[in-house]
Amino acid sequence: MEAEKLRREKYKFLPSETEFENWIARKINERRSKLVPFGTKEVGEPDKIAVVIHVIHNGEPYGEGVNITDEQIYSQIEVLNEDYQRKNADTIKTQPEFLNAASKMNIEFVLARQTKDGNPTTGIVRVPGTKTSYGITVSERELLSGFSHWDPNIYLNIWVTNLTSPYIGLAQFPDLDFPGLEDEPNKDNEATDGMVVDYQAFGSSQKVPGLDLQTFYNLGRTSTHEIGHFFGLKHVWGDVTGSAGCAVDDYVSDTPNSSMEYSGVCTPSDHVSCGTNDMFENFLYYTNDECMNIFTADQVVRMQTILESAPRRGSLLNSIGTVYPGEMYFDLAINSIKSPGKVVCNDELNPVVEVKNNGTIPVTDFDIVYNFNNTEQTYTYQGDTIFSGAIIEIQLDQSTIQNGNYKLSVTLSNIPDDTNGSNNQMDHVFAVDDQTDFIPLREQFEAINLNATEWIAINEDNKTGWELTEAPLTSDENISAFINLYNYEDKQQLDWLISPSLDFSEAMEASVFFRASYAKNQNFNDQLRVLGSKDCGVNFDDVLEVFSSSDLSVTASGDFWEPTNQKDWLTHSIDLNEYAGKQNIRLAFLSVNDFGNNLYLDDIEIFATDEDKVVKTAQNSFTLYPNPTDDGLFKLSFNISERQNVVIYIYDQMGRILTMDEYPNTLNQTYYYDLTGYRSGVYFINAKGKDFVRSKKLVISR
């Protein structure tokens, strides 16, 4: 962290810690809001990362001093793979209370197998330096990089040298694709990207007896710890010790809050801070090597997110450096369909496809065949050479489209001897919709079908999707939105129910309430995700709430679920204050099928009021509170059957009109009144709409 502070002082263009954490939180939410595919494989053959070990020695013969042996290097690679894949033998030392949090990454570190130019390599480079030891400043790290450095987009650079005491290791924290950094002069920043480690804290004396390693850092865990930083992890205790440390987090939810670093100790008898037991065996503490043995599930999610999203991280996965030079092959893949988003809000379609070269041979010629609206077109690529591991964006031809649901199918073709055809094709289902509305808003789905409402249903697999059905609530005639998760054809399918584009610009605060009916079916775990979009539905980056089957359930049933009365419904609410004052907001209710049971949604109501301030009242009426009022301040909360203009009169006991206010588009708003200048007594509040008139008494009692 000291080295990171020095780097940020030199490179002023780097985002702040807050900006970085906001960015990665958004990326993690994006990752969790989609099921597949992730950029990192969670099962099957592990993703590989090519490692280059730069031994910066003092001119010693091989095997002496800093010029460590190949065997010492091999032992370190073996430790990294065991620790990250949780194959380390000391997992049995994990405290029982933390076993459920333990996790692993499906990655494999390999010494580089070929150079960027395609020549074979051992992945070990030995270069004499110019100093007997090196510090942690940026200039010292640039000096090391100047001796030996390989492309950090392809290789994980590890410099092994004699670090000036008391330091034994450091790693460069990941950068991010933050807007505005594209043209910054950060090549020097790239040059230092990687890890620097002291030669006496590198490798394992357990695997290679007799190594000259530091007593407490002799099992290779310094590198495990530092690469955790390279993948975006922070120290568990948040780098602030003592009582103040309890207010500083590592931004990982399943590591207990901690205020101790546990430097130089192992299995301490007292390992409690911030009111809970500390996970002192976590790789991101300062404990001795023999004490470390665990990454948690949320730490793994954070590292996976960095590998998928951060510059010079995702390109490491299965790069050309992980392949022996004799293994030359073509493998061009559609990495993603960047555009359109989930919803297009105008009549212009601008398809953008992201293509990645997963092979070892540079690619210059191929075609993209794309089918949209039953029309097939071919785009012939004539751009720059796509080298191994590179990702490019390709803009396809624009089209004019009308409101409706569409599928864009994209296929790569004319690739000679492509070894993996399974990644050459991708479909994207989306909607074009220019319907707009504003809040407050109420949707009760009392229509013949969803097309008769302003809501959009997007059916990813073109099979079961959202529809309207009879679902008794307070009356048998009630209609609700419904998805048949009980008889769904395939597992883990996504189905979208999306609001019109909403204007929140007049609101100072906002919230949404809705009813849901669902019965949990054994251990099947259907899911309802409520997502938000700030760009009219192009991206649903905001994960507002994730409801499990247990969260939704009103009862347990293995039968086809149908509600019969009001007790079969639960009301849920979500804070929407982050959207107050903004336009082009959409909400999405996304179901994820696990063969559980049917899900019903109804009475979706968005308030221009904070979640905990919403007051419910009878329909076509209002609630007056506080009443009596001792200072003349009070509120009127309305519940109108539909939006309409409401006129509110306040009379005194003599029948004189004191105030008259007209409020357009009243639905469920709360209006604030101030009668602080009026004397104690009884007043009359009269509210009149197009189809109702209501009156209430107000008492001012000073």
Residue 82 designated active-site: no
Helices and strands (H and E) in the chain: how many: 8, 41
Instruction: Find where tokens 């409706």 sit.
Output: 404
Shortest CA distance to 581 belongs to which of 511, 507, 502? 507
Separation between Cα atoms, residue 257 and residue 552, nearest integer Å? 30
- The one catalytic residue in 226, 443, 454, 605 is 226
Number of residues that this document lists for the chain: 702
**Cβ contacts of 188 within 8 Å, gap of 6 or more:** 11, 142
> What three-state secondary structure class fits 270?
coil
> How many other β-carbons are positioned within 10 Å of the β-carbon of residue 694?
17
Residue-wise over 182-207: b if at least 16 C-beta within 10 A, else e?
Answer: eeeebeebbbbbbbbbbbbbbbbbbb
Beta bridge partner(s), residue 308:
none
User: Residue 663 to residues 154, 615, 621, 687: CA-CA distances in angstroms?
Assistant: 62, 18, 15, 10
Beta bridge partner(s), residue 548:
527
* DSSP line for 458-508: EETTSSS--EEEE--SSSTT-EEEEE--SS-SSTT-EEEEEPPEEE-TT-S
Separation between Cα atoms, residue 525 and residue 594, nearest integer Å? 6
Instruction: Find where tokens 């569409």 sit.
Output: 406
Instruction: Find where tokens 């001792």 sit.
Output: 630
Instruction: Find where tokens 């290791």 sit.
Output: 169
Structural contact between residues 468 and 447, judged by C-beta atoms closer than 8 angstroms = yes
The stretches of 587-684 forming alpha helices (DSSP H) are none
Structural contact between residues 595 and 525, judged by C-beta atoms closer than 8 angstroms = no
Instruction: Find where tokens 């009269």 sit.
Output: 686
Structure tokens at 588: 């999405």
Task: Give the active site residues.
Answer: 226
